[in-house]
């Protein structure tokens, strides 16, 4: 059982963990694929103008991504490309 100080520290850590991924870029530089525009998406390795537009169009048509793995549904993002960006993206 946690004492009051441990509980407060735990709650603070949870809060900070949730804040890692904000609307655009987080402290850890992850890009939120649910809010990023085409230009920001192009900062990801292997994502150029055409693919970034596909991501935005897919999101506009199908709604927000519920997990980072969902980006693999976008035409042109296979397993290899996903492996190259998965540590750089988040959803919120």
Domain of 81, CATH number, reads 1.10.150.320
The two three-digit tokens of residue 4, written as one number: 């009051």
> Does residue 10 sit within a domain?
no
> Does residue 40 sit within a domain?
yes
Q: Is the pTM of this model over 0.85?
A: no
pLDDT in tens, the chain (92 residues): 667 787 677 676 656 555 555 444 444 579 999 999 999 999 999 999 999 999 999 999 999 999 999 999 999 999 999 999 999 999 98
Structural domain of residue 35, as residue ranges? 21-90
- Which phi and psi angles does 90 have, rounded to 5°? -150, 170
Total count of domains within the chain: 1
> Does residue 1 sit within a domain?
no
Max alpha carbon distance in the chain (Å)? 53
CB 53 within 8 A of CB 39: no
> Does residue 79 sit within a domain?
yes
Q: Burial letters for 14-47: b for 16+ Cβ neighbours within 10 Å, e otherwise?
A: eeeeeeebeeebeeeebbbbbebebebbbebeeb
Which pLDDT value is given to residue 24? 44
CB 24 within 8 A of CB 35: yes
Which pLDDT value is given to residue 80? 96
């Amino acid at each position: 059982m946690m004492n009051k100080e441990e509980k407060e520290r735990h709650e603070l850590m949870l809060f900070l963990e949730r804040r890692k991924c904000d609307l655009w870029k987080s402290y850890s530089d992850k890009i939120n694929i649910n809010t990023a525009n085409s230009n920001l998406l192009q900062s990801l390795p292997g994502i150029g103008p055409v693919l970034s537009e596909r991501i935005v169009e897919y999101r506009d048509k199908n709604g927000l991504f519920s997990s980072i793995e969902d980006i693999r549904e976008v035409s042109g993002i296979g397993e290899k490309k996903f492996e190259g960006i998965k540590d750089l993206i988040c959803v919120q």
